[in-house]
Amino acid sequence: MELITNKYFHLYNRSNNKEIVFKERKNYFYFLKKYRKYISQYVTTLSYCLMPTHFHFLIYVISNETDLIKNNIGILLSSYTKAINKAYKRTGSLFQNHTKTKLITDESYLLTVTNYIHQNPLRLGLVKEIGDWEFSSYRDYIGQRSGTLIDTSVIMQKFKSVDEFILFSSKPSQIESTL
């Protein structure tokens, strides 16, 4: 996994064998709590989407301690897995071994990745409207929630209004699935 200070990255991972990793609503909240504890102090989170079998985050690395961030991603996944294993009487790893990152090199692609992340539940047929998916940062962008995990300013400065962002978000993503 590559992480470089002062760069944007699409961070993602999926479950082993397409197993459901977020079995109940409370699991999503628990994962985000772990993300806050282990990752958010080292990055600016621009967008995210937690899906039943995988997750996506768009981050900007603000810390020089990139090895620590990588280690903390492992701790996040390991501690989440241990909690799920205990709660649901399962054993073994839940996530694939290697969390992946993709360097975002230009502003246009930054917007494309945001769109891709937010459209995940729609593409997989989990919702009819992007805003219907609770475990995504989309609602923060359109003013339906005022969460503290993400920073919408970088993306929203590219749009004249929330309505323009909504229109942009309704267009199909220009990138292929990374999972």
Instruction: Specify the pTM.
Output: 0.92
Judge whether residue 175 has pLDDT over 70.
no
**Contact between residue 63 and residue 69 where contact means Cβ atoms under 8 Å apart:** yes
pLDDT confidence bin for 174, thresholds 50/70/90: low
H/E stretch holding 49? strand 43-50
Nearest to 60 by CA among 141, 138, 154: 154
Mean pLDDT of the chain: 93
pLDDT tens-digit map of 12-54: 999 999 999 999 999 999 999 999 999 999 999 999 999 999 9
Judge whether residue 152 has pLDDT over 90.
yes
Q: Give the sheet arrangement for strand 54-61, strand by strand.
A: 43-50, 54-61, 8-14, 100-104
**Contact between residue 141 and residue 49 where contact means Cβ atoms under 8 Å apart:** no
Compute how many other C-beta atoms are within 10 angstroms of the C-beta atom of residue 160. 9
Amino acid making up residue 46: L
Structural domains in the chain? Answer: 8-169 (3.30.70.1290)
